[in-house]
Amino acid sequence: MSTAKKTSLTTPQAHTGRRTFSKIPAAMELPNLISVQKESFERFMGEGLAESFAEFSPIENSAGTMQVTFGDHQFGDPANSMAECRAKDISYQAPLFVDVRFVNKETGEMKEQLVFMGDFPLMTERGTFIINGSERVVVSQLVRSPGVYFSSEMDNGVLVHKSQFIPARGAWLEFEVDKRGHLVVSIDRKRRQSATVFLRALGIAVTDDEILSLLGDSDVVRNTLERDVATTREDALIEIYRRQRPGEPPTVDSARSLLDGLFFNEQRYDLARVGRYKINKKLEEEIPADVRVLTKEDIVAALQYLLAVHAGDESKHL
């Protein structure tokens, strides 16, 4: 009776390292693939947080008698190590402190204090975060960066052209030459209305002649002006406010405050550096980089560019 001989099969990888039989050496070493994320987070902990506090500083009460100003920030030591956080199901974080100055404008009293703002999650050497004991990673998303964009699309067989101001923080402003050949505007994704009424409300151009001189004498502009009910700045402000705040009693002052807060207030609207750079480049402007709100020059230049694209100007492209 013959018996089968048992053999033990082993793979070369079990005893040897990785081998390569290529005659051509590698062109370059594998880079550190998480360096971008780590450097970005370190930049955020320093410059990013400082810019964020500067955007909202100083803060005043409604009466204007008290003022709070944020200064430099600093981090304390983590209360637990990464290993302890994993074992105890807690987050790996460090306390964040900010130098805060309180000023009483009525008495002139001033007080400075280091204020605890909260616990700040820290990134590990592997580019991860430990949240409640579990390691997490931030998944990047592809989103439009701030700036001005021009596009075209078909609407019931008619080619319409659009322009969008997209901020890093704040309300979107969109202009469009619609399928009926009218120039319209949408403020903060709300109902569309006449773009020439919007220009009157901002005081950029009030009379029909001023608007035609600014935007050019075209069928689109004339068709839009013919539909305008509001022909003065005060009436235009009221009309804008009614569309943006239906049901609320409109006044000229409240309408002016609404528009100023939406696009021209640094605490509520921010194009960021990249947004200002892209707008200047696209519209061929030279507005300073530290001006991170919309300007009336931006709005006029975007409308002129949009109308040129709609008219088929080959020097303008989307």
- Asked whether residue 252 carries a pLDDT value surpassing 70, the answer given is yes
Mean pLDDT of 126-133: 92
Structure confidence at residue 102 (pLDDT)? 93
Mean pLDDT of 310-317: 70
How does 34-69 read in b/e, with b if 16+ C-beta sit within 10 Å?
eeebeeebeeebeeebbeebeeebeeeeeeeeebeb
Q: How confident is the model at residue 78 (pLDDT cuts 50, 70, 90)?
A: very high
Structure confidence at residue 172 (pLDDT)? 94
Mean pLDDT of 235-244: 92
Domain segments of the chain as ranges:
35-136, 147-310
Structure confidence at residue 165 (pLDDT)? 95
- Asked whether residue 238 carries a pLDDT value surpassing 50, the answer given is yes
CB atoms within 10 A of CB 185: 22
- Asked whether residue 8 carries a pLDDT value surpassing 60, the answer given is no
Structure confidence at residue 54 (pLDDT)? 85
Nearest to 166 by CA among 290, 261, 263: 263
Residue the block writes with tokens 């040897």 = 16
pLDDT digits (tens, 9 = 90+) for 268-294: 899 989 999 999 999 999 999 989 999
The architecture (CATH level 2) of 147-310 comes to: Alpha-Beta Complex (3.90)
Share of the chain above pLDDT 70, in %: 90
Structure confidence at residue 9 (pLDDT)? 40
Structure confidence at residue 303 (pLDDT)? 94
* Whether residue 95 has a cis bond before it, omega within 30° of 0: no
Mean of per-residue pLDDT scores for the chain: 87
Instruction: Identify whether the C-beta of residue 102 lies closer than 8 Å to the C-beta of residue 108.
Output: no
Share of the chain above pLDDT 90, in %: 56
Please state, in angstroms and as integers, the Cα–Cα distance from residue 130 to each residue in 27, 46, 80, 93, 96, following that order. Answer: 36, 21, 11, 8, 17
pTM above 0.85, yes or no: no
Structure confidence at residue 157 (pLDDT)? 81
pLDDT digits (tens, 9 = 90+) for 143-194: 788 999 999 888 888 888 999 999 999 999 999 998 888 999 999 888 899 9
Whole-angstrom distance, CA of residue 121 vs CA of residue 144:
26
